[in-house]
Amino acid sequence: MKLKKGTPVCGLIIGCILVLIGALVMLIGFWKTLALCALFGAGYFIGTVENKRDFMKNTANKLIPDKEVKVIDLKSELIREQEAEQEPEENAGRAKAKKKE
C-alpha cells in the first residue's frame, strides 16, 4: 500500500498517530513521551539509512558552512540590490532628459 499526502487513508493514519501521542502524553507525561518519540526516531534512522557516515557528513555540511564561505550581511545586501535597481531608472531618466534638449 502506497501512502500519498492528501488522501483519506493518509489522514486516518496520521490522525491515529497523533491520538496515540496524545494518549501517551496523558498517561505517562510529556517528557517520557518525548523521550519515547526520540528513541523511535533514532531507531528509525538506524534501520533505514544505509550509509550513515555519508548521511551525517552531508547533513553537517548543510548545517555548518565552510570557513571559506563568506557570510552575507542581509541588510547590506538588500541595500546594494535596491541601489542596483535604482541606477538603471536614473540612467533612463537622464537619457530622456538629454533627448528633449
Closest CA to 25 of 37, 15, 16: 37
Angstrom distance (rounded) from CA 98 to CA 101: 5
**pLDDT for residue 72 is more than 60:** yes
**Hey, where are the domains in the chain?**
11-67, 70-101
pLDDT given for residue 59 in this prediction:
87
Give the mean pLDDT of 6-26.
Answer: 90
pTM of the model: 0.49
Average pLDDT, the chain: 83
**pLDDT for residue 22 is more than 80:** yes
